[in-house]
Structure 1
């Protein structure tokens, strides 16, 4: 292994804020289980860029059988962005140490257009650590689709067996392994440091 391809959310950035998740459910007016089932159903299309924010929330409302008002959609978009906007500074420090050591890096993130713009505005210092930036809404492919990985491999200029893919989602890691990449299911920064060391990748 000589290259590391990172996932964003749940690895470099934090998963959704629990408190904001509760606020989203309250604002929707639906039961939590129904809301999250509807939320995730069209998410791949949103992440891929096939839907923008208003269209995505219209799709969510249709699945709930109760369309959201324009005011609700505006608020839900804002809450959704807020829920995904925190970075993990320990992970960022690890990525920076790999970058400083000259390890080729890439990022492959399932991320909709509005959230990508938020990160470009607020977390440019994080995105700039990755010479290859595979944002699903910009590349037209979302994990675990094979084309999302192929897009990154082509721009990294390397073969699959030279790449360690790091993601907290087991399905995405399994998809990467099927394509010949090494895969690590992220659980903590110390555990990832151990895996990197065993793979001969230096992180300060």
Structure 2
């Protein structure tokens, strides 16, 4: 196993991709016939098994509608599914370019909580993902953050040591879960803060100087 391999492991949404498009919940709620507040609560309450690949899209939407005491035919559930995928489809082009540029100095990988059908759509729409050193979508690997097994999947898949990784996520609970697996963690607040953290971490990673397994490379400003 190579020593001192720099691997930057990115979260997707809130880091490289944008969070859900504003107004999307209102649109999907209208499709379902529920109020936005009720729909939003059901949408998120049913999400974990969908993200973790335990439910298919039809199972997820059936569960959401059942929670709302509603029923809908295949046409409506398909409209909901496609609207949901579209609502999460935007990326930050500057961050995409930045992530691609890092491949000159490190291996770059992705670990994202995203349902399997969303992942398929993202892979089709964003061909740059195919150039990364490893891509792990929760719906495909059937493991979702902050489950430590999701991080261990990346360690094993990349034949690396935990301390080789700097994990970048906008959620502190996920960064801490990565640290608990022996990775370094950075809570993402913006590209400039990440660049500063990498300027410190990469030289240390190459030499092994000051490298402490599980240590936070940088925290939120």
Q: TM-score, normalised by structure 1?
A: 0.91
Gapped regions of structure 2 (runs ≥ 5): 204-221
* Partner residue in 1 for 2:113: 110
Separation of aligned partners in 2, 1:190 and 1:22? 33
**What's the CA shift for 1:120?**
1.7
Contact 1:106–1:156 (CA<8 Å) still a contact in 2?
no
Separation of aligned partners in 2, 1:191 and 1:47? 29
Gapped regions of structure 1 (runs ≥ 5): none
Q: Deviations over 1:139-175 (max 9, x none)?
A: 1211111111001011222222221111112221121
The partner residue of 1:63 within 67, 79, 99 is 67
* Partner residue in 1 for 2:23: 19
Separation of aligned partners in 2, 1:186 and 1:27? 34
**What's the CA shift for 1:68?**
3.1
Higher relative contact order (CA 8 A, sep 6+): 1
Separation of aligned partners in 1, 2:148 and 2:15? 20
Separation of aligned partners in 2, 1:30 and 1:18? 18
**What's the CA shift for 1:20?**
2.4
Q: TM-score, normalised by structure 2?
A: 0.84
Larger-gyration structure (1/2)? 2
* Partner residue in 2 for 1:175: 177
RMSD: 1.6
Q: Deviations over 1:15-36 (max 9, x none)?
A: 1100323211222222222212
